[in-house]
Structure 1
Amino acid sequence: MSKILVTGATGGLGSAVVNALLAKTEASNIAVLVRDAAKVETLKEKGVSVLVGDYSDFDSLVAAFQGIDKLYFVSGNDIHNRIPQQENVVKAAVAAGVKHVVYTSFQRKNETATSPIAFVAEGHLKTEEWLKASGLTYTILKHGLYTDLLPMFVGEQVLETGVIYQPAGDGKTAFALRTDMAEAGANVLISEGHENKIYNITGAKTYSYQDIANIISEITGKQIIYVSPSVEEFTKTLTEVGVPAEYIGLFAGFSGAIKEGEFDEVSSDLADLLGRTPVDAETFLQGVYGK
Structure 2
Amino acid sequence: MSNILVTGATGGLGKGVVENLLKTVSPGAISVLVRDPAKAADLQAQGVIIKQGDYNDYASLVAAFAGVDKLFLVSSNDVPNRGPQQTNAVNAAKEAGVQHVVYTSFQRKTEDGSSAASAIAEAHLLTEKLLKESGLTYTILKNALYLEVLPWFMGPVLDTNTIYLPAGEGKVPYASRADMGAAGAAVLTGTGHENQSYEISNDTSYSFHDIAKILSDLSGKTIQYVSPDAEAFGTALAAAGVPAEAIQMTASFCVAIGQGEFDFPASTLEKLLGRKPESAAEFLKAAYKL
TM-score range, shorter chain: over 0.9
Amino acid at match of 1:6: V
- The superposition leaves residues 227-246 of structure 1 with CA deviations (integer Å, 9 ceiling, x where unpaired) of 10000101111112221111
Q: Is the 8 A contact 1:204 1:277 kept in 2?
A: no
- The superposition leaves residues 84-107 of structure 1 with CA deviations (integer Å, 9 ceiling, x where unpaired) of 001000000011000000000000
Q: Mapping of 1:225-264 within 5 angstroms?
A: 225-264=224-263
Q: Is the 8 A contact 1:216 1:289 kept in 2?
A: no
Amino acid at match of 2:274: G
Name the residue aligned to 1:85. Answer: 85
The share of aligned pairs that are identical, in percent, is: 55
Name the residue aligned to 1:136. Answer: 136
Name the residue aligned to 1:75. Answer: 75
Cα drift, residue 289 of structure 1 = 2.5
Name the residue aligned to 1:40. Answer: 40
Cα drift, residue 134 of structure 1 = 0.4
1:102 alignment partner, SS class: strand
2:113 alignment partner, SS class: coil
Name the residue aligned to 1:166. Answer: 165
Name the residue aligned to 2:11. Answer: 11
Name the residue aligned to 1:202. Answer: 201
Residues in 2 aligned to 1:264 and 1:128: alpha-carbon distance in whole angstroms: 20
Q: Is the 8 A contact 1:171 1:260 kept in 2?
A: yes
1:75 alignment partner, SS class: coil
Residues in 2 aligned to 1:147 and 1:40: alpha-carbon distance in whole angstroms: 25
Q: Is the 8 A contact 1:139 1:198 kept in 2?
A: yes
Amino acid at match of 1:218: D
Residues in 1 aligned to 2:188 and 2:248: alpha-carbon distance in whole angstroms: 35
- The superposition leaves residues 231-280 of structure 1 with CA deviations (integer Å, 9 ceiling, x where unpaired) of 01011111122211111111011101110111222111111111111111
Q: Is the 8 A contact 1:188 1:273 kept in 2?
A: yes
Q: Is the 8 A contact 1:82 1:123 kept in 2?
A: yes
Residues in 1 aligned to 2:92 and 2:129: alpha-carbon distance in whole angstroms: 16
1:126 alignment partner, SS class: helix
Name the residue aligned to 1:151. Answer: 151
Name the residue aligned to 2:30. Answer: 30
- The superposition leaves residues 112-171 of structure 1 with CA deviations (integer Å, 9 ceiling, x where unpaired) of 11111100000000000000000100000000100111111111x111111111000011
Residues in 2 aligned to 1:11 and 1:189: alpha-carbon distance in whole angstroms: 18
State the number of aligned residues. 290
Cα drift, residue 214 of structure 1 = 0.9
Residues in 2 aligned to 1:211 and 1:154: alpha-carbon distance in whole angstroms: 13
2:148 alignment partner, SS class: helix
Residues in 2 aligned to 1:102 and 1:46: alpha-carbon distance in whole angstroms: 23
Which residues of structure 1 form unaligned runs of 5+? none
Amino acid at match of 2:157: V
Residues in 2 aligned to 1:265 and 1:59: alpha-carbon distance in whole angstroms: 38
Residues in 2 aligned to 1:185 and 1:288: alpha-carbon distance in whole angstroms: 23
Cα drift, residue 290 of structure 1 = 3.9
Q: Mapping of 1:272-283 within 5 angstroms?
A: 272-283=271-282
Moved more, 48-57 or 242-251: 242-251
Q: Is the 8 A contact 1:147 1:176 kept in 2?
A: yes
1:56 alignment partner, SS class: coil
